[in-house]
Amino acid sequence: MIKEAGFLARADLQTLLDRLHDLGYRVIGPVVDDAAILYRDIDRVEQLPLGYTDDQAPGSYRLSQVDTPRCFAWADGPHALKPFLFAPRETMWQVARDSDGRLAFSAVDPRPAKALAVVGVRACDLAALALQDRHFLDHVNDPYYEARRAGLFLVAVHCAYPADTCFCASTGDGPRATTGCDLALHELDDGFIVEAASPRGHAVCDGLSLRAIDDDQRRAANDALSEAAHRQFRRLPSTDLHNGLLARLDHPRWEQVASRCLACGSCTSVCPTCFCHAESDAPSLDGNDSEHLREWDSCFSAGHAQLHGFQVRPEIRQRYRQWLTHKLGSWHEQYGRSGCVGCGRCITWCPVGIDITAEANAICADTIEEAP
């Protein structure tokens, strides 16, 4: 349960970062880099994107500066929590041949030198993390993910600035962070309402100088989140998407979207819940050592559906359909819910701006009309 801990004046935000560093965390937070808001190592509040906001549309992301004292006045950039836990590329094990020709296999220790504390996480990414946990911890018991997940400390910021591409209200995953974090912050002009959501979160709060929260602050924070939900105009169909999509595998819309789709894999890569990967071996030139690698793959890649000697999904139509029917449909069977958390990244970061909500709505259009 999330509980109010107190109000942290803006001037004291540095003490939160200091506290996390003092507790031994590697602290990650949002910074402006490469024309986007990205997660990077931080130690000073001055590194946060003070006064920045974003303008997101299908296939377009632009940062701009506005007159605000706030540091979190933006919606998620391209990076989710995913790369910190499910590494884009990592060595899983190594093998070396000794002078007698014997092979010695060795494990790679995936434990990070320091546990991560990530500041600025949004509700959609917490929901995505819960889904990745279900996959990597419950479903496949992945030691690499588990080692990085174990000490993770999360400071959420309730999202008062959804982008035009966001639809977390429609998936039920935001904009308020309700679970899965250690601390949650409401950002107001003069500071932050701090909420603690775990024993570790409470312990961090103990080291902060927090004041009492007044009702005006509470009201302002809640109003901002209601507005943030209402401002979202994209939504997924509210019908049963599992049966709806799987009953429409021959819908002409698949062909239409395929004519626009580049099959580049950008959507699945920025998706905070997609977990597909490929494994390969990287032998040294002399052939005496080798590393076994895992890297992000995508159901849009040719290699992903390449079985021995034949291609299961040769057409882009089939690949897009595979992604959507899995993400919104058969994910329910595997993980008990949809694989979409409404972060909108696949819409913004698609080079041609394909909109998952538009496609799902078009394909399920007749069920929507049938709905009461």
Per CB under 8 A, residues contacting another protein are: 33-36, 38, 59-62, 78-79, 83, 88-89, 258-266, 269-270, 280, 282-287, 295-298, 301-303, 306, 314, 316, 348-349, 351-352
Q: Which residues pair with 37 in a beta bridge?
A: 32
The nearer residue to another protein, 108 or 220, going by C-beta atoms, is 108
Residue 220: count of CB within 10 angstroms of its CB: 15
Q: How far is the CB of 31 from another protein (least distance, A)?
A: 12
Q: How far is the CB of 96 from another protein (least distance, A)?
A: 15
Q: How far is the CB of 314 from another protein (least distance, A)?
A: 7
The nearer residue to another protein, 11 or 352, going by C-beta atoms, is 352
SS3 assignment, position 95: strand
The nearer residue to another protein, 269 or 325, going by C-beta atoms, is 269
Q: How far is the CB of 32 from another protein (least distance, A)?
A: 11
CA proximity to 364, closest of 232, 260, 254, 234 = 254
The H or E element that residue 90 is part of is: strand 89-97
C-alpha distances (whole Å) from 108 to each of 8, 105, 143 are 41, 10, 10
Q: How far is the CB of 218 from another protein (least distance, A)?
A: 37
The nearer residue to another protein, 221 or 299, going by C-beta atoms, is 299
Residues 124 and 167: their CA atoms lie apart, in Å, by 9
The nearer residue to another protein, 222 or 301, going by C-beta atoms, is 301
CA proximity to 172, closest of 343, 368, 365, 355 = 343
SS3 assignment, position 246: helix
41 φ, ψ to 5°? -65, 135
Structure tokens at 98: 């000794």
Q: How far is the CB of 276 from another protein (least distance, A)?
A: 11
Q: How far is the CB of 170 from another protein (least distance, A)?
A: 23
Q: Read out DSSP for 283-341?
A: E-TTSSEEEEEEEE--TTSTGGGEETTEES--SHHHHHHHHHHIIIIIHHHHHSS-S--
The nearer residue to another protein, 302 or 371, going by C-beta atoms, is 302
Q: How far is the CB of 303 from another protein (least distance, A)?
A: 4
C-alpha distances (whole Å) from 278 to each of 88, 90, 274, 298 are 10, 11, 13, 9
DSSP 211: B
The nearer residue to another protein, 35 or 66, going by C-beta atoms, is 35
CA proximity to 291, closest of 82, 71, 89 = 89
N residues, the chain: 372
The nearer residue to another protein, 150 or 282, going by C-beta atoms, is 282
